[in-house]
Structure 1
Amino acid sequence: MKIEQDTSGDGTVGKALDVLDRVAAFGRPVRFSQLLEDAPFPKATLYRLLQTLTNQGMLRFDPEAGTYAPGMRLVRMAHAAWAASSLAPVARVHLDTLSRAVGETVHLAQLDGGQVLYLDKRHATRPVPMYSEAGKVGPAYCTGVGKAMLAYLPEAELAAALGQQSWHRFTPATITDPDTMREELAAIRAAGHAFDREEHEPGICCVAMPILTGGGRVLGAVSVTSSSAGEPAALTRYLPDLARAVERIAGEMRDWRFPDRGES
C-alpha cells in the first residue's frame, strides 16, 4: 500500500510513525511481507521497528496469523486525540440534528496536510456505499468538503494545498488541474457552498459548507451526501439546514476554543 511520506530527516521516530501509518492504512491485519513491498527502508530496519512498536503496545502481533494490527495503546491514544480535537465533540449534536432533518449521509471533515480527514459521519436513512468513513483521509480537490475548505484558505495556504494534490482523474467529472480548480473555488466563495458532482466516486454527489471563525479562518466543513439520482442541484434544498449546522458549530467553537484576535 503506497504512502507518500518522506521521513528521511526525522530519524527513528519518523520511521516508526511511517510504519504505524502503513499498518493503519491497510484497514486490516497485515503481514510483514506486505509491509515490506513498499517500505522505504531495509528488511532488517522494518523488522526492528515492528518489534519495537509491538513491545510498546503501539502494534499488536498475532503469531498464529503472522499479522500486525494497531495495538491497544495506539487505539487509546487515537481515542484521546479525537476527544480532544474539539471540532468533533462540539459538532456531534449538530450533526445529529442535521442528519435527522435531511435523512441523507452527513460528513464532518478537516484539512490535514492538504488532504481531507473525515472526523465524523452520520449514515443516511437509506445508506449508499461510499469511500468516506471517520478516520479516513481523502483528496481535497474532488470532494465537497475539501473544495469548501480550499475555497476559503488564504492564498499562501491555498497554493501549498494545491501543490499537494495528486490531480488523479477518479471519474470523468474530476477536475485535474490547478487553474480550473481555482476558477471552481472562486465560484464556491461567491455561492457560499460547494458541490461534489460525482468527482470522487461515480453516483455520489454532495453539497458542502465550510465552518469558519468570525474572522474567516477555516475550521472544517460539513456536507450532505446522496446518490446522483436527483442530480447535484437537487441537494440545494438542504442548504438552509446545512447552513444552520455550520453556523452553530462555528459559534460554539468560537466561544469555546478558537477565538481569533480582533473578532467580536
Structure 2
Amino acid sequence: MTAIQSSQRGADGTVGKALNILDQVAQFGRPVRFGELLAASEHPKATLYRLVQTLANQGMLTYDEDRQTYAPGLRLVRLAHAAWRQSSLAPIARPYIDALATQVGETIHLAQLDRGQVLYVDKRSASQPIEMFSQAGKVGPGFCTGVGKAMMAFLDENTQADAIRRQAFLAHTPTTLASPDALLAELAEIKRDGVAFDREEHEPGIICIAAPILSEGGRVIGALSITTSTQRQTLDGLLVHRPVLQETAAEIASAAETWQFPC
C-alpha cells in the first residue's frame, strides 16, 4: 500500500474500512472464509469481525452457514445494476460497439478510468474469440493497456500526475512501460496522435489500438479499443481500423452529452 492510499484509508474512517473489506472479498473471486480474510487484513480480529458482521447484516455480504464462507451480497448486485445504468457508458455505447464489432470482426472493449485504473464496462468478442484478461466488470492497470493510456493521455496535468502515481509499474511482459518517465513520454505522443497502442504490454500475444472518448469540453469519459492477437493481426494491420475507431468514439461521446457525468 502506498502512503497516499494509507492516508486516504485512514481519513475515510469506518466506511472506508468496510468498503476495503468488500473489495477484499470480491478479489478472492470465490466464497471466502473469515480466516482467509483475517490473514490478508490489516485489522485486528475483533475489528474485522465487527465490520464483516455489519456488512452481512446490511446485505452487502452474504454468509453461508454450511460452508462458513462470505461472498458479495445481493444488495451489492442491486447497487451494481444501478451504477451500470446511471454512471456507466455501457448502456449508451452498446449499439455503437455492436456495430463496430460487426464491422471489424475483432474484440471491442469499452472502458472508464477509476482512480488511475481501467474499469472494463463492456466487451464484444470477435467472431473467433481470443482468451484474454479483460472482461466487463474487471479492473486492469492503466499504464500498460491501450484504453488506460488513451484515457490518461488526455487528463489535465494534475489528474494525470495523480493517475501515474497510482500505477504499480509491474513488468508484465518484456514490452511493458515500467517507469513513470517512459509512460509520460508515451502519453505525450498519444495526445499528439489521438490513438494509443498496447504492444503486448499487459499480456503476451495481445495487441490493440485504442481511442479516448472525450466530451465536447475535452473531458475524458472513457475509451474504446479494438483488440486482437499477434497470431491474427499486426499493429500495422490494426492501424487500418483507426478511422472507424475514432468515428465510433466520437459517436459515443456525442450520444453521451446528455448523460449525467459521474463526479
Note the alpha carbon deviations across 1:90-121, whole angstroms, 9 max, x for none: 11111111111111111111111111111111
Distance (whole Å) between structure 2 residues aligned to residue 63 and residue 92 of structure 1: 40
For 1:86 and 1:138, the matched residues in 2 are separated by 16
Which of 196, 208, 213 is 1:206 aligned to?
Answer: 208
CA RMSD, Structure 1 to Structure 2 (Å): 1.7
Which of 26, 43, 46 is residue 44 of structure 1 equivalent to?
46
Aligned to 1:68: 70
1:139 aligned partner: 141
The answer for the alignment partner of 2:84 in structure 1 is: 82
SS, match of residue 168 in structure 2? coil
Q: Could you tell me whether the CA contact under 8 Å between 2:116 and 2:142 is conserved in 1?
A: yes
Q: Distance in 2 between matches of 1:5 and 1:71?
A: 26
Moved more, 167-176 or 4-13: 4-13
Report the alpha carbon displacement of residue 151 of structure 1 after superposing the two structures with TM. Answer: 0.9
CA distance in 2 between counterparts of 1:119 and 1:181 reads: 24
Any unmatched runs of 5+ in structure 1?
Answer: 259-264
Q: How does 1:126-165 map to 2 (within 5 A)?
A: 126-165=128-167
Report the CA distance between 1:176 and its aligned residue.
0.8
2:82 counterpart letter in structure 1: A
C-alpha contact 2:86 2:260 (8 A) present in aligned 1: no
Give yes or no for the alignment of 1:249 onto 2:247: no
**Kept in 2: contact 1:5–1:18 (CA 8 A):** no
Aligned to 1:262: none
**Who is 1:237 aligned against?**
240
Q: How far apart in 1 are the matches of 2:178 and 2:172? A: 9
Number of matched residues? 257
1:257 and 1:251 map into 2 onto residues whose CA distance is 13
Unaligned runs of 5+ in 2: none
Kept after mapping to 1: 8 A contact 2:88/2:121:
no
**1:99 matched to which residue of 2?**
101
Q: Quote how far apart the aligned CAs of 1:256 are.
A: 4.1
Tell me what 1:109 maps to. Answer: 111
8 A Cα contact 2:87 2:260, kept in partner: no
Distance 1:8 1:257 in 2: 30
- Summarize the Cα distance change of 1:162–1:168 in structure 2 as closer, same or farther, 3 Å threshold: same
Alignment check: 8 A CA contact 1:204 1:228 kept: yes
Q: Give CA-to-partner distance per residue, 1:128-155, whole Å, 9 cap, x none.
A: 1111111111111100000001111111
Is the 8 Å Cα contact of residues 96 and 251 (structure 2) preserved in structure 1? yes
Which TM-score applies when normalising by structure 1?
0.93
**2: CA distance, partners of 1:88 / 1:176:** 31
Q: Secondary structure at the match of 1:167?
A: coil
Against the structure 1 CA distance between its residues 76 and 197, is the aligned structure 2 distance closer, same or farther, given a 3 Å change threshold?
same
Output the amino acid matched with 1:51.
Q
* Secondary structure at 2:10 match in 1: coil
Check whether the contact 1:149–1:210 (CA below 8 A) recurs between aligned residues: yes
- Do 1:209 and 1:222's aligned partners in 2 also have CA atoms closer than 8 Å? yes
1:256 and 1:83 mapped to 2: Cα distance?
11
CA distance in 2, matches of 1:139, 1:129: 18
CA shift digits 1:31-74 (9 cap, x unpaired): 11211121110111111111111111111111122211111111
1:118–1:136 CA contact under 8 A, matched in 2:
yes
Name the stretch that deviates more: 47-56 or 198-207. 47-56
- Relative to structure 1, the CA distance from residue 228 to residue 126 in structure 2 (aligned partners, 3 Å threshold; closer, same or farther) is same
In structure 2, what is the Cα distance between the partners aligned to 1:218 and 1:11? 30
* 1:210–1:220 Cα contact (<8 Å) kept: yes
> What percentage of residue pairs aligned between the two structures are identical?
57
Amino acid paired to 1:209: A
TM-score normalised by L of structure 2: 0.93
